[in-house]
Homo-oligomer: A and B are copies of this chain.
Amino acid sequence: MKALRFEHGELKLADVATPSLPGEVLVRVTHSGICNTDLEIVRGYAGFEGTIGHEFVGVVEESDNKTLIGKRVVGEINVGCGTCELCLAGDPRHCPTRTVLGIKGRDGAHAEFLTLPERNLIAVPDAVSDAAACFTEPLAAAIGITEQVEILPETRVAVIGDGKLGILCAFALAARSRNTSLIGKHSSKLNIAAGHGIEPVLLGQAAGLANAFDVVVEASGSDSGFATALDLVRPRGKIVLKSTFHGTPKWEAWRVVVDEISIVGSRCGRFEPALAALAAGTMPVESLITDEFPLADGVRAVERAAERGILKVLLRMAD
């Protein structure tokens, strides 16, 4: 089968054997989405080699559980060992020996086929298009914020960063709070959010909003994002960190102490609420799609996703 692989510092389309792992389900991938984590891997920041990609929708091709065959599915990307303290407590996402689809120790989704354990797969409601289903994983990560931090209708929320992740976070938070602002550098991206109960704010105008927010989500993936968040959050407020970019920025830790700020690291979320929101059509994720390429043009698709001003780029596996 064809797979988009990062090996020896190079991204290329390769012909490899169709995967087969005892006890796992074989999924024929229909579409996949290119995430900033993919770009980090291709820049060599994440130490991963193999087939990249972790946002996907597909159809079950082979399974020990025959009732699954032919079902349209998405998949939770973390696979725990199943036996450690964290796995037994129901938290395989933090299993110390976990593999992660297309990120850590496990070939990913930018390929014609992938495998995952049955427990990782969730059926996609008919109301959700393939394109929308590709957003299940990142939307789950965005909605996950609301399971870590209380968001009430009156909570004043700011999201820093008008990339894919920032816009999805703004969608997820605006579903709870009627005071959600999205702060970014690009009017064209801010405008995608503007029609959906989200206040667009150009970064240059954010200086007047010092201490104005109860919760600030840092989703810019830049060194300066955290400093901006510290300026915007009120004393005793919360900063949610979403970016996994591999920098080591400096931070004024003493300001966190003096203003008694809480910082909440937030990575993944549960798929069920994301699929429910997609099925309800309340989050216009397809407005984030800039482009779509066939898998055969995967290298070009990743280059496109890395260009300035580009939001989501999808791959389709059928020519």
- A→B interface (CB under 8 Å): 86, 91, 94, 96, 148, 211, 226, 235-236, 241-254, 256-267
Contacts and interface: CB of A to CB of B under 8 A. Distances in A.
Contacts of A257: 241-244, 265-267
Contacts of A211: 96
A241 B252 CA distance: 12
Given A244-B258, A251-B251, A262-B265, 17 more contacts: A86-B235, A91-B235, A94-B236, A96-B211, A226-B253, A243-B257, A247-B253, A247-B254, A250-B250, A250-B251, A251-B253, A257-B267, A258-B265, A258-B267, A260-B267, A261-B265, A262-B263
Contacts of A249: 250-251, 253
Contacts of A236: 91, 94
Contact of A94 (B244, B247, B259, B264): B259
Given A248-B251, A254-B243, A263 B263 contact: yes
Nearest to A254: B244
A235 B98 CA distance: 13
Contacts of A261: 265
18 contacts: A86-B235, A94-B236, A94-B259, A94-B260, A96-B235, A226-B253, A242-B257, A244-B254, A244-B258, A245-B254, A248-B251, A248-B252, A249-B250, A250-B250, A251-B251, A257-B265, A257-B266, A262-B264
Nearest to A241: B257
Contacts of A91: 235-236
B254 A246 contact: yes
**Which of A94, A235, A244, A265 counts the most chain B CB atoms within 10 A?**
A265
A148 B246 CA distance: 30
Contacts of A253: 226, 241, 243, 247-249, 251
A252 B245 CA distance: 10
